[in-house]
Amino acid sequence: MAEIQLRNLSKRWGSFVGVQNFDLTIGNEEFLVLLGPSGCGKTTTMRMIAGLEDITEGEIIIDGKVVNDLEPKDRDVAMVFQSYGLYPHMNVYENIRFPLKVRKVDPATHDERVRRASAMVELDEFLHRKPAELSGGQRQRVALARAIVREPNVFLMDEPLSNLDAKLRVSTRAQIKNLSHELKVTTVYVTHDQIEAMTLADRVVVMSKGIVQQVGTPTDIYDMPANTFVASFIGSPAMNLVDGTLSGGTFTAKDIEISGLTGPDGPVTLGFRAEDASVSDGPAQVNANVYSMELLGDATMVTIRAGGAMLSVKAHKEYRSEIGDAVSYSVPSEICHLFDATSGERIG
Ligand code: ATP
Does residue 47's CB lie within 6 angstroms of at least one atom of ligand 1? Answer: no
Q: Which atom of ligand 1 is nearest to the CA of 190?
A: 7
**Looking at residue 36, what is its pLDDT?**
95
pLDDT at 313: 93
CB of 34 shorter than 6 A to ligand 1: no
Who has greater pLDDT, 119 or 55?
Answer: 55
CB 104 within 8 A of CB 136: no
> How does pLDDT run across 108-141, given as a tens digit for each residue?
999 999 999 998 888 889 999 999 999 888 898 8
Give the torsion sign (CA, 278, 283, 287, 291). Answer: positive
Among 151, 112, 144, CA closest to 134: 144
* 43 in contact with ligand 1, CB cutoff 6 A: yes
192 pocket-lining for ligand 1 (C-beta < 6 Å): yes
- pTM of the shown model: 0.90
Ligand 1 mutation pick, 13, 49, 213, max ligand atoms within 8 A of CB: 13
pLDDT digits (tens, 9 = 90+) for 244-295: 999 999 999 988 999 999 999 999 999 999 999 988 777 788 989 999 999 9
49 ligand 1 Cβ < 6 A: no
39 lines ligand 1 (CB under 6 A): yes
Kindly tell me if the per-residue pLDDT of 242 is higher than 80: yes
Which residues on adjacent β-strands are paired with residue 252?
245, 257
ipTM score above 0.90: yes
Neighbour-count burial for 218-229, b at 16+ CB within 10 Å, e otherwise: beebbeebbbbb
Closest residue by CA, ligand 1 atom 17: 39
pLDDT in tens, 166-207: 888 888 888 888 888 888 899 999 999 999 999 999 999 999
Q: What are phi and psi of 344, to 5 degrees?
A: 80, 0
Strands 250-253 and 240-247: antiparallel
| Residue-wise DSSP of 282-305 | SS-SEEEEEEEEEE-SSSEEEEEE
Mutation pick for ligand 1 pocket among 9, 11, 44, 196 (CB with most ligand atoms within 8 Å): 44
Cβ 38 under 6 angstroms from ligand 1? yes
Helices 110-120 & 136-148 angle (0-180, nearest 10): 130
Please compute Rg for the chain using Cα positions: 24
Expressed in angstroms and rounded, the spacing between residue 348 Cα and the centre of ligand 1 is 34
Mutate to test the pocket of ligand 1, among 43, 163, 208 (most ligand atoms within 8 A of CB): 43
Q: Stretch 59-69: mean pLDDT, rounded?
A: 95
Element (H, E) at 95: helix 92-102
